[in-house]
Structure formats: structure tokens, C-alpha cells
Structure 1
Amino acid sequence: DEQDYTTRMVKRFGDDQDPLKMLIVIDKLLTGFDEPKNAVLYIDKPLKEHNLIQAIARVNRLHAKKQFGLLIDYRGILAELDTTLGKYQDLASRTQGGYDIDDIQGLYEQMSTEYKRLPQLYKTLWAIFDGVKNKQDIEQLRQVLVPRMEDRDGELVDINLKTRDDFYEALTNFTSCLKVALQSATFFEDKSFTDADRRHYKETVKQLSNLRQLVKQDTGDTVDYDAYADQVKKLLDKHVVGVEVREPGGAYEVGKMGQQKKEEWTEEKTRNETDIIKTRVTKMIEQELLDDPYAQEEFSRLLRKVIEEAEKLFDHPLKQYMLFQEFSEQVEQRRLDDVPDVFDGNRLAQAYFGLFKQVLPEVFTVTDQQVQDKWVKLAFEVDESVTQAVAENSINPQNIEADIRKKLLPMLFKEAKGVGAGMDQARKLVEKVVQITRVGLGKAS
């Protein structure tokens, strides 16, 4: 059955796992066929007016891995496209697919002339690094993009965030244009572009794509083969090749390749690594300490203090690096001078102890070991009660919070009352415990 066969072929074409990647049709699929990933349409038949518009629509659907569609015209019919669009403007509705026909203007370009945009895109891309003296030095380029946290009106902000976004966009635009250009015969026939120009453009993509991946790692972003990375990989594999093979100069221990002693770092690399640690520890405090409000508050305060100390060491970049490295380890281990080390990795009990210091600060104004031991013991008891509530309501997790409140409120009210506080403080403690539990359950899921 022809209809059944067509339906099956269309379904296979839309399946990413199916080896079928091309459909050849005659008088079919101009209407009623909508496959967003369809990126190329080869036209070898006369089309005009409505049928031409319908054909173009086959490749202009949005898809995550597609930046544009390609029309390969073997009949010269696209020369009539402007005329066709003009005729559509005379229609009473003046719409096509729900949009004013004027919106279509400028949405298509001749592939054979797309390469002429390369010089301006290249200029825009490198303008980001105008202040860099040696543009072959990866560390100098990296310094322009590496996360750099500064205090702005009491809030730590990454002042290089916009520059990185501009770089990602400029590199994507340049790479996409070069990819099209390298598939166009006119790019190679145009005498205003030399072989050296084309080779330099390809080397630029390779150099700055490596920089992009490095910066993604610097910022803690997930480095994956997204649509851009996949395109670049194909472009480099196809168009950028090695030029010579050299004999090895000796043997290398793979695990130590690329490693360098900190004392041997250049000033640019040292400052870059310092900024990376500063950004990483800032994210750690903001994101990983959500289950310990007291530690989050204290480490945020200490971070500002460390930044102030680092500013005094500006002429000693390695000392700056070591200062942030030591602080990063302190945050990672959640070591605070006013929190006893008896919790032995029980971060939740430690967080509950921190809540007592937040809500009942007057209790800890006097240094008394017996008093501290009492509240440490209570923190472990709270942890046991919460653990029990979670376990008992694992089948009906919506009851966990109610059970925690039921278990903890009488206990914490008694202790709060004993130090001159009351029900308000007890309720505040319970709600903060519930919030910590929500964070923990969120991480677990």
C-alpha cells in the first residue's frame, strides 16, 4: 500500500536511530510533512509560487541541532524567489503560516555569497581580545574570559560573564559561516581570499574552540558535545589536518603530562588559576552549602575577608593563589573555628548545630564547654528524629515535613524555654530544619 509505505518512510526519517537519512520524492511531501531536523532540500524540478514557498518551508523549521536550512537548487528556480514573495504580498490576508509576509524578507541568503561575511565576523571575534599582546598565548587569551569575582554593592559578581557570552556567540557565528564557506566553490574561486587566508580561518576555529572548552571547564560548566561542539569537530576533522609527523623526543609518563609546578607558572596563568578557584569557592558557598545556612552565612563573610587580604597581595600572585586554595579546602571540609569537630562528617547534625547559633546566639556568647556539649548532643538528637521521620514516611513522602514538625516542636520548645526564649524561636528552628530536609531530599532525587 503506497500510503502505508510513505507513512513508514516518513516515520523512519524522523527517527534519530534509524540509518535512513535521505528521502527522494516526486510530487510528494510538499504539504503535510513537518520534520524539524530536516536541514537540506535538493531541488531538481521546476517549482513556482505556492509550491516554491511550500518547498522552502520543509527546511525552515527550528531544531536544537540546526542553525539554518540549505536549499540546493539544480534548476535555477530560486532566482524567482523574490518575485514569488512579491506576489504573495498581494494576497488579501498578507500572511503565510501565521506571519506577515514582510517577516520573511531577509531570512534567506545565497550560500555562494555567505563567505563574504567572514572578514567582519573574524574582526568581531578578535575584537574581544583587543588588549591581549600575544594572541598565540592561551593564558593571555584565557585571562580575558576567566571568571573574575568582584564585590559590587555588597554582592559578588562575575565581571567577565558578558565577555564570555559575547565570545561564545562570536565564535559560533564565525564557525557557522566558515562551515558554509568551505562548502561553496565561489569561496575558493574568489581571488580576494588567498589559501593562507582560508588556512588561517580554519586554524582560528581550532585555536579558539580549544579555548572555549578550557573556559567552559574554568567556569564549571558541563563540557559536552552540544550542537556547536559537534559541528566544530566535524569541521576540524574534515578541513584541519596535520602538516608533519615528528619523531618523539623522549618518553613521557602519561599521568603527569601537562602538569607543571605552581612555582613555574607564568604570572598570567597564576592569576587565571586564582580567579578560577575564587569562582569555584563562590559557587560552592552559594550552591553546595544550601543544606547548612549557618556555614553558608559564615563562609560568605570569610570569603569577603579573604578577598580583601588577597588585594593586599596583588604583587604576589602565587601567594594569592595559595590563600584561595587554602580557603577552598576549608569550605570543602566545612571547617569553622566556632563549630566543634565532634560531628565527624555528619554534615546534617553540624548544620542543626549551626541553626542553634543562628536562632539562639545569646546561648553561645559565653564560652562554656558544658553548654556547648549540651547543644551538640541536641543537634545529634534532631538528626536522629529527622532521619526517623524520613524513613517512616518513605512510602508517603508528603508526610515527612508534618512528622518532623510533630517530633521536633515539643523538644525544641523545651530547650528554647530553658534559655529564656519561646515558641517563636522554637518554630523558627523547626522550619529551618524542614528547609534543610527539603534541600537534602532534593539532592537525593
Structure 2
Amino acid sequence: MEIGITVEMDYTAVPKFQEKYAAKIPALALLCNLGWSFLPPAEACEARSGRQDQVVLTEIVRRELGKRTFHFAGKERPLSQKSIDHLIGIVCSPALNKGLAAANEALYNHLLYGISVTEFVDGEKATPTIALIDWHTTENNYFAFTEEFSVTRASGVESRRPDIVCFVNGIPLIVIEAKRPDGKKGPSIDEGISQSLRNQRHDEIPQLFAYSQLLLSDNGADGRYGTCNTPAKFWAAWREEDIADGAMLAIKNRPLSSEQAQTLFKQRAPADLDWYQTLIAGGELALGGQDRLLISLLSPQRLLEMIRYFTLFDKKAGKIVARYQQVRR
């Protein structure tokens, strides 16, 4: 069922240039169209037991791990609660005492290779390795995102609120800063990058970036991406060579379902939904740099490919994620 268009006011100001209209709401809607599920901030907070110092959605991780099995003595066996608790304990304990780069690499290895647990079946010991992400079947993972994700700073006094955070199976892998097109302190893309770099500092919210695989800065018209500890000068644009513009346009202009629209806008002012309905009723929306970046990197299958095959750790350069010209299919 598609979203209904019932507009009584004249919104001649479409498009608007405030951050939420120019960049954030279009990004949220596009993520829905890419197959991600929106978690309102209150639900995301509940999924981490209301703890703003905790960035992993532990209840979702527990649910997804509850679907995992291991093969032993010719049968598929469910994981015990003890093993699930053990896995969650490891995932929620990034080794930040060794620095952000080391913590990020350790968690990346857990994501890529899984974590071993000890199980006992009829008195016999088994040590299966359990995957946190199903790299082979994209549909076996849960892709969700939220906005205004409050995270307590290392000082324990204040908090930061990245604009959009995307989770795979409850683990925060993507952080997006959405800015208005006309930055007051220079190019707004640079503002988003600067904010992301600041938030990675040891006195800020490094516990979020210990998990991050892709970091994005966008402003509606344009976008750049990097990864953990990527210097500002190396944040890059993406030029898509495999997904045709027609396919991208179809994704961008796909109407939200009634359920998606209700979930996305229920905590917003009614004027926001009115604005969005008027915008999409005005005809086909054009593609911008932000759209191309999100579709190219955050389509679920593409995201898993980028993390698994096109990310590496170099002793000198640190963590590197491929640019478009380095990705060959």
C-alpha cells in the first residue's frame, strides 16, 4: 500500500534548504527504499536498554544470534544462552584502551571471521565459530537505521548525536552526517567530515567509531565517504559504473509504503510529512550526488561487499576502504 497524497496547504517553498529537508529526510526515505528498516530514536534507545554509553543494539544482536545454529554430530544445534551472552559480551567490549585503530581492527576481524564459543552437547565439547554477519546470504541479516543517535562522551557528562547511524544485526557499521547545502563555515560537506573526525577523538565518542566501516558526509546535493581515521583530504566521492541512472531513479522515486511513512514521520511535526508528500507529488525527483552515494554504497549487498572485499588494514596507512576506481567486478 502506497503513501496517500492529501495536501491542503500550498508549499511553494519546495525544495527547502534547512538540513532536515535538504539532506536528512531525503536520506532517510532513500534508505527505506534500499531495504533498510527505520528505528525511531526511542526504539533504538530501548534496544540498547536505555544506555547512551552503549552503542550496540544488544536486544537486536541477541535476537539475531538466537537464529544462529552450529553443526555437531550430524545435526544443526541452537546456540545456548550462555554462548549468546558470551558473544554479546565480546561485541560490546571494544578494546579502546589500545586506541581506536586497534579496537576497530579487532572488531572488524570479529565481523569478518566470527567468534568461537564453547558448547556441550550430551557431554561432548564443541567449539564452533559463530558468524555475526551472514556474508553469503544478504537477506539473512537485519538492516536498520535511526537518527539523532545520542552517545555519551568519554567524559560521561555530555553527549553527541550523529545524524544517522545504520546497523547490521544491531551493530553500528555506518555513521552519516547530513548537512544543509549552504554551509555557514565553508563547504558543508567539509563540515560533516570535520564533525566526524572530531567525534572519533578519545575524549569524544570513539566507542561508536570502534565499529564503523563506512562514514559518510552529505548535503543533499553531494556526498563523500571515508572510514575510521580517514584524514579529511582522503574522503572521496563515488562514481557508479554498474548501476544505471534509470535504476537509481526508480529507487529514489519509489513511494514509501503507508507503514514506512508512518514509522518515519510519526515522531515528526505534521508539516514535515506535508512537505514530503508535496515534494513527491510534484513529479519525478532528480538524482543528486547524495543519492548516488547512498545507493552505490548502502544498498545492502553492495555494503557487505565493500566491507568484506574492499576494506584493508595497512601498518603504515591504517584502515583503507576502496575508491570506486579500485573496485572491479
Confirm or deny a common fold (TM above 0.5): no
TM-score (norm: length of structure 1): 0.21
Structure having the higher Rg: 1
Q: Which one scores higher on RCO, CA 8 angstroms, separation ≥ 6? A: 2
Q: Give the number of the structure whose residues are more often strand, by fraction.
A: 2
Q: Give the number of the structure whose residues are more often helix, by fraction.
A: 1
TM-score (norm: length of structure 2): 0.26
